[in-house]
């Protein structure tokens, strides 16, 4: 079991992880991407103290090197769900499951509204994990709707199982898709179906499908952790960056504006110190006698 699991590899998560490591805690950082999708396109950053003009990717790499040098274990992992149990948290990722005594959410800016129909059809043709659910759609027609290049891997995986795979990217760039995956240049508008998904309606037309796989930079916080209190889509925290769930802290863009690197780094540090204090309190409470 880890002392602390940090979810998200942006400035807030890396700051939290390295500060907890400096307090000698066993820390795992689970990050969906090697470089935060926010910092990747950030050209020149002029408001981060001491490093005027640094590029987003360079700053991200420096944060990452620093965290690794401190002994933080970083895993490429997409966390799908976390639940609080008696002795800590059970965290389910796409690849593996983890246990940790405390958790810090550093998942970036809150996800806005889901697609109309998405919540109702989740688990009924709507999936967030090709590796987990792909086999249910063997020889069927599916679509991947993705905010991230990582969706290309999902499409490639599904191409080996499904009859037809459509790929609708919600980001700009080169698309590295295997033969047979058809690119859809449009915007997803809604998901339709009564008991099961039947079609995806896009600005490029309607697609009759058995499954849709949605790849986002992050899940809405309350979907990630049922029972978590949010206000205007941001995770509600106190000055210690504690959420309404004991042992669960949050930092960075996911707690609300301003969406800035220095704020994310500062909140990451506060969350780490609060988590360390929480762990010490738990240890004292669990001591016999």
Ligand X SMILES: Cc1cc2nc3c(=O)[nH]c(=O)nc-3n(C[C@H](O)[C@H](O)[C@H](O)COP(=O)(O)OP(=O)(O)OC[C@H]3O[C@@H](n4cnc5c(N)ncnc54)[C@H](O)[C@@H]3O)c2cc1C
Using CB under 6 A, list all residues that contact ligand X: 7-13, 30-33, 36-39, 41-42, 45, 47, 77-79, 106-108, 217-219, 224, 252-253, 259-262, 264
Please report how close the Cβ of residue 261 comes to ligand X at its closest, in angstroms: 4
User: C-beta of 223: minimal distance to ligand X in Å?
Assistant: 9
Q: Which is nearer to ligand X, 19 or 202 (CB)?
A: 19
Query: Would strands 199-202 and 126-127 be described as parallel, antiparallel, or unpaired?
Result: unpaired
**Closer residue to ligand X in complex, CB, 159/237:** 237
CB of 77 to ligand X, least distance (A): 6
Closest approach of Cβ 71 to ligand X, in Å?
20
- Using DSSP's 3-state secondary structure scheme, residue 15 falls into helix
Task: Output phi, psi for 257, to 5 deg.
Answer: -70, 160
Q: For the CB of residue 45, give the shortest distance to ligand X in the complex, in Å.
A: 4
Give 10 or 193: the residue with its C-beta nearer to ligand X: 10
- Helix ranges restricted to H, the chain: 11-22, 56-70, 118-121, 130-133, 150-159, 221-224, 261-286
Nearest alpha carbon to residue 148 among 229, 241, 217: 217
Nearer of residues 149 and 282 to ligand X, judged by Cβ: 149
Give the side-chain half-sphere CA count within 13 A for 210: 14
Cβ proximity to ligand X: between 109 and 210 the closer is 109
Min CB(188)–ligand X separation in Å: 20
Cβ closest to ligand X, residue 146 vs residue 210: 146
Strands (E), 8-111: 27-31, 73-76, 79-84, 89-93, 97-105
Rounded to whole angstroms, how far apart are CA atoms 2 and 100? 4
Q: CB within 8 A of 260, min separation 6: which ones? A: 47
Identify whether the C-beta of residue 216 lies closer than 8 Å to the C-beta of residue 141: no
């Amino acid at each position: 079991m880890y002392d602390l699991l940090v979810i998200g590899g942006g400035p807030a998560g890396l700051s939290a992880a390295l500060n907890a490591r400096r307090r000698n805690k066993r820390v795992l950082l689970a990050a969906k991407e090697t470089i935060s999708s926010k910092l990747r396109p950030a050209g020149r950053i002029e408001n981060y103290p001491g490093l005027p003009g640094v590029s987003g990717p360079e700053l991200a790499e420096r944060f990452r090197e620093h965290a690794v040098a401190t002994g933080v274990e970083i895993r490429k992992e997409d966390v799908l769900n976390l639940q609080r149990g008696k002795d800590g948290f059970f965290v389910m990722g796409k690849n593996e499951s983890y246990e940790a005594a405390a958790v810090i959410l550093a998942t970036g800016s809150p996800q806005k509204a889901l697609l109309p129909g998405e919540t109702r059809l989740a688990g009924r043709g709507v999936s967030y994990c090709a590796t987990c659910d792909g086999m249910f759609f063997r020889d069927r027609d599916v679509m991947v709707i993705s905010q991230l290049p990582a969706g290309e891997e999902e499409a490639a995986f599904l191409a080996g199982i499904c009859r037809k795979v459509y790929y609708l990217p919600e980001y700009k760039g080169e698309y590295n898709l295997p033969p047979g995956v058809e690119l859809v240049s449009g915007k997803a508008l809604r998901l339709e179906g009564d008991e099961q998904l039947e079609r995806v309606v896009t600005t490029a037309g309607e697609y009759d499908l058995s499954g849709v796989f949605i790849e986002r930079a992050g899940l809405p916080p309350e979907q990630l952790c049922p029972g978590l209190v949010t206000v205007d889509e941001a995770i509600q925290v106190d000055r210690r960056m504690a959420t309404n769930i004991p042992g669960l802290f949050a930092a960075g863009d996911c707690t609300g504006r301003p969406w800035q690197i220095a704020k994310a780094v500062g909140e990451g540090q506060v969350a780490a110190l609060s988590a360390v204090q929480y762990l010490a309190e738990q240890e004292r409470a669990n001591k016999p006698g």
